[in-house]
Every structure is written in C-alpha cells, then in structure tokens.
Amino acid sequence: MSADLQSTPFSILDLAPIPDGRTARDAFHHSLDLAQLAEQHGYHRYWLAEHHNMTGIASAATSVLIGYLAAGTDRIRLGAGGVMLPNHAPLVIAEQFGTLESLYPGRIDLGLGRAPGTDPRTMQALRRHLNGDADGFPRDVEELQRYFAPAEANQAVQAVPGQGLQVPLWLLGSSLYSAQLAAALGLPFAFASHFAPDMLLQALSLYRQNFKPSEALAAPYAMVCVNVIAADSDRDARYLFTSQQQQFINLRRGRPGPLPAPVEDIETLAAPAELFGVDQALRLSIVGDSNKVRHGLQSLLRETQASEIMVNGQIFDHAARRRSFELIMALRQA
C-alpha cells in the first residue's frame, strides 16, 4: 500500500511554547488561535504534550488546556500527545478524560507516554509515593482501559465520568518498548521522531509485524511525528528553525528556558560537538520552502508508510508559526 500527501491525514502536536519575553497566558491564547486555524484548514487532530518544570512549555496541566481548546473549536479532534502515565493514578486520568469526552463527545484522544516528561526531582514531586516499579506501565494502561470500558458486575471502583465512554487510547514512544506494547494490546501507535528518530523504522516494523487485532483496532495504525518548518523561502525557514535548535542546545546544557528568538548564524552559539548532537536528534526535521517541504514529506511517507503524519513546529513568532502550518496543509490539498 502506498501513501501520498493527499490521502494521508495531517495533524498537529503543540508543545504550547512560551517564547522569550512572553507568558504562559500568551502561549494558551496562541494555542487556541492555532487550533482554530488547524480546524479551518482541515487538520485531523490537535494534540498537546505533558511536560513539567519546563519554563518554555506551558502544557503541564494537559487535560485543562485540552478543555480550553475544545471549547473554542467545533470539529477537530483534541487530545494528549501525551499524558505521561507514570506521573498519575490511572483513575484520575480516566476521570479527567471521561469529563472531556462527556463535554465534547467524539472529539477526544488520549495518548499515553511511559517517560516522566521531566527531571527526577520533579517526578518525585509529582508522585511522592511512586514505588519505582519500572514494569508498571502496561498494568496502568490496562487499568485505564477497564475504566473506559462498560462497567463489570460488582466493579468496586468506577471512573465517573469515564466508565463506558471508550475514549480512544494511543501509545506513544521513541524506542521499541511502546511499539511492542501497542502491538500486543491492539492499540494505535505514534512514534516521536521529532526528537528521537533513531529507531523509527525498526519500531514501525515491529509494531506492524506483531500487531494483534482488538476491539479498539482491527489493523495497525501508525502515526509519525516530525518537525516541519515551512516558510516562503529556504533561508527564512532555516532562520526560524534556529529557535528549536537553540532550545535543544539549552536543554542539553541543563538550562531549559523560554523558546529563544531565531538567530542568523546558529554556529556562533554552540560548539561543533553540541551542534552535531542536536543535528542528530533533529535530523528528520523538514525545513524549507513549499517545494522542499513537499519533497521531504513525500520521502517520509514513502519510507514509513505512515497512516498519519503529526507535525510539530517550534517557531518563535506566532504569525510565522501560523504561516508554516498553512503552507504545510496547502501542500496536502494541492
């Protein structure tokens, strides 16, 4: 089966970036504006990611922000890409997303990640009594599935709201672990190649070869998340991309902060070894004018046969960010 731009659904991952000099409130308003733009231009879904103790990312209270965006849109699917399940009791997440599904029926997704999405001390602050059980993630996923399934006879604990609402679950990953678990549970799978591309093709192959049909999903469904920065010229796109490059450099230096303004020459800000490491992490990013982005997306689809593409774009200027997502969808609709 071949995939092409016209037939492949496109979606957006929003990290709710806080640009340098702006606030979380600004980030929320920008996210709502971008979600409304995405709905207008035909994007399929719009996901927000849970991060904590990150002064450049505003989506820590992921379910609250999803509710804000859902209230300001009409049709587009909203969801978490993802909720970091080790940070939470499954019942609490079931109640939160059961509430969202009750308010906005048929529009809510719940993507689940296994990483904490933060540093060890913040993880301790999130779950003070975490027992350190590294193998607890599959058990937590199955517990969450039970809370969204119809209630069983004599079920002692129910998610209210949530029970019986069948909120769609996704597993997210940047390695082989979640690919295998998604295949075993018969769930859709999303790979985070926007920051960890190394195992992309291996994970997709493993997921498809080992997929077991379930009540949730009859056949494998794999989504690939990729950074795409589109602009009216290659030069403009490369300039905009330097904000994301700086963000990765700062994170690797242990100094995460607001999304930096773009610079003309990224090589003046980091040592060659730092730039090499960042380039490796971001090497699948597609950066350029419409023609270059078209070829990049077509190549990605040929290689991965992705069921869906999710686009991330950390761009400092909101107007330029809007323009990037408009150009991307224009390619799909051409």
Closest C-alpha among 328, 309, 320, 331 to residue 10 = 309
Residues 6+ apart with CB under 8 A from 107: 70, 75, 76, 77, 78
Instruction: Return the pLDDT at 131.
Output: 54
d(CA 86, CA 93): 11
Residues 81-120: tens digit of each pLDDT:
999 998 899 999 999 999 999 999 999 999 999 976 567 7
* Mean pLDDT of the residues in the chain: 94
**Residue 244 in 3-state DSSP?**
helix
φ, ψ (nearest 5 deg) of residue 77: -70, 140
Q: Give the model's confidence band at 159: pLDDT under 50 very low, under 70 low, under 90 confident, else very high.
A: very high
Q: pLDDT > 90: what percent of the chain?
A: 88
Paired with 308 in beta bridges are 223
**Poorest-confidence range of 34-43, 123-132, 253-262?**
123-132
List of E strands, the chain:
10-14, 45-48, 77-84, 108-113, 169-173, 189-191, 222-230, 286-288, 308-312
Give the domains, in start order, of the chain with CATH numbers: 10-333 (3.20.20.30)
User: How many Å separate Cα 195 from the centre of its chain?
Assistant: 11
Q: At what angle do helices 200-210 and 290-304 cross, to 10 degrees?
A: 40
